[in-house]
Amino acid sequence: MPNSSTPTAISAPGKVLLAGGYLVLDRNYTALVFGLSARINVIAQKIETSEGVQLSEIVVISPQFLESQWRYGYHLAAAEGGFKVTQLHVGQTINQNPFVETALSYALTYISYSAHHLPTHTITASQLTILADNDYYSQSDSSQPGDKKIPNRFAKFPTNLKDAHKTGLGSSAALVTALTAALLSHYLPPTVFDINTLHGKRTLHNLAQAAHCAAQGKIGSGFDVAAAVYGSCRYRRFSPSILVSLPEPGAPGFAPALLKLVDDKEGKIWDVEIEKEGVRLPPGVTLRMCDVDCGTQTVGMVKQALAWRAAQPEKAGKLWDSLQERNVALGNVLAEGNTEQIVSAVSAIRELIRAMGTESGTPIEPEAQTALLDALAEVEGVYNGVVPGAGGFDAVALLVKDDEGTEGRVKECVRNWGEERGGRVRLLGVKGEMEGVRREELGSYEGWLA
């Protein structure tokens, strides 16, 4: 067993679905997803108790936000139901966080049942500190800490977490992935779990996918978790049926069913395809994001678009097949470094995305976003951009030259755009990157840990 008195720090990246929005829900199609330099960080550390005192409690804190502390009790359920996690009252109110609670139940169950030599009582009380890089949230209502020892990458917000405006970078998937990895690394010896190995990443992927899917009502394709674990990749979703029969945490048989699902050593259960080879950006080109500070109800938009596809399968099928071809073409253009073809490749995708939006009555690329992207495409050093993923009014993604001159011109463009229209648009600091989940040095969090 690792030295659980030493804090364990893990981070997982956000994502941008550059090509493959909506198509990623169907196993007949693939998606091109890039990891982002903005990360969700989780630091796990032991709660020190008096000699002879044993707590069955996990405390989760998000110190960037108000009233963002969750306390959970945990106990082993009967009939191999795994660990049941129960939120404890703090003061008069309970602010529930289904992603945290579900990740805890799944991870503690796996930890207990995966290592037979690791008895249950070794799951000691711990504290999990969550720190999100600034670009996950719109900054209009943030304030930087006064303590100069605290890095500026983590802003403080005068709101609670549920009221913060997200920029749409995949915070829940990155959170579940980092939280799960931190728990596994904290409680299990590296001979059982090591995120630096292919086996460790596969274990983490399967467990985080199961937990994240359950937390959001067993919907979603899982591309965001795949990016959080593996980084930038070409992704084909797993069959939804894989997770349908998994019992709820605490229900009879949950533990062995989860263990079988996660420890799919021969790859007979998970039919997901995650390919990193050939996924890259040309030299001198980077991916940037512009926050529009509106946000979109993704689930409602997806339901509306899928309802159109079900109602008009022939027309939708032809459009999706054509869009898949154009998505693959963009991936090839980027991988082969053909920068002169980026503009036309992205424009071809946007054309069909707008057509899908018109046909389905879904604002996938709203007129305001079209005008913004067209204006940015005129800026020197900008190749083109898209409204990524499910679309709407979340952050837009841009393919640009990776130099200070281009960055300055883009900032000026979006500043003028916002002033002219009375809105808030800004270039985020985040860039595309290839790496997925990783361990971090504790010095990165100076001033934030007790």
Question: Residues 80-136: pLDDT tens digits?
Answer: 999 999 998 765 566 788 999 999 999 999 998 886 555 444 788 899 999 999 999
Q: Which fold has domain 285-296+305-432?
A: Alpha-Beta Plaits (3.30.70)
pLDDT at 94: 65
pLDDT at 217: 86
List, for residues 228-263, the tens digit of each pLDDT value: 999 999 999 999 999 998 999 999 999 999 999 999
List, for residues 34-61, the tens digit of each pLDDT value: 999 999 999 999 987 645 445 688 999 9
Query: Residue range 194-222: average pLDDT?
Result: 94
Distance in angstroms between the alpha carbons of the first and the last residue of the chain: 24
Spans of all domains in the chain: 8-277+435-445, 285-296+305-432
pLDDT at 107: 97
The CATH architecture of the domain made up of 8-277+435-445 is: 2-Layer Sandwich (3.30)
pLDDT at 145: 47
From residue 146, alpha-carbon distances to 152, 268, 427, 443, 446 in Å are 10, 53, 24, 19, 14
CA distance 431 to 393: 19
pLDDT at 392 over 80: yes
pLDDT at 67: 84
pLDDT at 143 over 80: no
Identical topology for domains 8-277+435-445 and 285-296+305-432: no
Instruction: Evaluate the CA torsion angle 248, 253, 255, 261 in order and state its sign.
Output: negative
pLDDT at 399: 98
List, for residues 420-434, the tens digit of each pLDDT value: 887 788 999 999 999
Torsion angles phi and psi, residue 158, rounded to 5: -85, 30
Provide the mean pLDDT of the chain. 89
pLDDT at 400: 98
Least confident of 141-145, 235-239, 328-332, 396-400: 141-145
Q: What pTM was estimated for this model as a whole?
A: 0.93
Written as six digits, the tokens of 209 are: 């996918």
Q: Helix/strand/coil (H, E, C) string of the chain? A: CCCCCCCEEEEEEEEEEEECCCHHHCCCCCEEEEEEEEEEEEEEEECCCCCCCCCCEEEEECCCCECCEEEEEEEECCCCCCEEEEEECECCECCCCHHHHHHHHHHHHHHHHHCCCCCHHHCCCEEEEEEECHHHECCCCCECCCCCCCCCCCCECCCEHHHCCECCCCHHHHHHHHHHHHHHHHHCCCCCCCCCCHHHHHHHHHHHHHHHHHHCCCCCCCHHHHHHHHCCEEEECCCCHHHHCCCCCCCCCHHHHHHHHHCCCCCCCCCCEEECCCCCCCCCEEEEEEECCCCCCHHHHHHHHHHHHHHCHHHHHHHHHHHHHHHHHHHHHHHCCCHHHHHHHHHHHHHHHHHHHHHHCCCCCCHHHHHHHHHHHCCCCEEEEECCCCCCCCCEEEEEECCHHHHHHHHHHHHHHHHHHCCCCEEEEEEEECCCCEECCHHHHCCCCC
pLDDT at 277: 95
pLDDT at 128: 97
Highest mean pLDDT among 64-78, 92-106, 113-127, 295-309: 64-78
CA distance 288 to 428: 7
Residues of the chain with pLDDT > 70, as a percent, come to 90
List, for residues 146-157, the tens digit of each pLDDT value: 444 444 789 898
Residues of the chain with pLDDT > 90, as a percent, come to 70
Least confident of 32-41, 125-134, 339-348, 391-400: 391-400
pLDDT at 116: 59
Polymer length of the chain: 450
